[in-house]
Amino acid sequence: MGLDQAVTGPRLVAGIGFRHGVAPEAIVALIRRALDEAACGGALVAIVTAADRAGEPAIQEAAAAFGLVPASVEPEALLSVDPRVPTRSARIEQSRGVGSLAEATALAVAGEGGRLVLARIDDGRVTCALAAMAPTGAEHPNLESKRARAAQIATA
C-alpha cells in the first residue's frame, strides 16, 4: 500500500448491474449501502456498468448524485476479468458470459492490480460490487474522460 492510500484509503470503483426501469434512487441507496458495508474509508472514484447500459437515465442520474459520470465496460473486457469474479449467477452467465456483472465491471475498471473489497450485494433490482484500484495501476481508458465530463457538469 502506498503512502497516499495509507492516508486516504483506496480509490474505489462501484460496479453496477440493474434491471430496466429501476429508479436512480435505488442505485444510489445500494452504492451507499456497499460503501458502508465495505467500511474501508476509500474514496468513490468511479461508477461503472456494461457499455449497453451506461447511457440509461437511471445510472446517469445515480452517478451524478456522487458527482460522477458512469464509465462503461465493453463485453471483451468483462470476459477478460471473469476468472477473477467469485460470484456466479446462472442468469448473468447466460446473458453476459460472466458470473457477476457488478463484480466484473468493478474489476475491469480497477485495473490489473485491483481487487474486490466487497463482493456483489443486491436489493432484487440492483447489484453492486466494490473494487479497490491498484495504488499505481493504470486507469480504465475512458475513466479519465468521464471524470473530466463530471467536472464540466459540476461547474455548469
CATH code of the domain covering residue 69: 3.30.420.180
**Backbone dihedral angles phi then psi of residue 57, each to the nearest 5 degrees:** -55, -40
Of residues 153 and 122, the one with the higher pLDDT is 122
Q: Region 91-119: what's the mean pLDDT?
A: 94
How confident is the model at residue 135, as a pLDDT? 79
- pLDDT range class, residue 139, cuts 50, 70, 90: low
CA distance 89 to 101: 9
- pLDDT range class, residue 150, cuts 50, 70, 90: very low
CA distance 33 to 98: 24
Which triple of cell numbers denotes residue 63? 452517478
Half-sphere exposure of 95 (CA within 13 A, CB side): 10
Burial per residue of 52-91, b for 16 or more beta-carbon CB atoms within 10 angstroms, e otherwise? ebbebebbeebbbebebbbbbbeeebbeebbebbebebee
Is residue 16 over pLDDT 90?
yes
- pLDDT, the chain, mean: 86
How confident is the model at residue 1, as a pLDDT? 44
What is the extent of the structural domain holding 37?
3-155
How confident is the model at residue 2, as a pLDDT? 46
How confident is the model at residue 110, as a pLDDT? 96
How confident is the model at residue 136, as a pLDDT? 66
Is residue 155 over pLDDT 90?
no
Q: Region 64-86: what's the mean pLDDT?
A: 96
Q: Into how many domains does the chain fold?
A: 1
How confident is the model at residue 25, as a pLDDT? 99
Of residues 55 and 152, the one with the higher pLDDT is 55
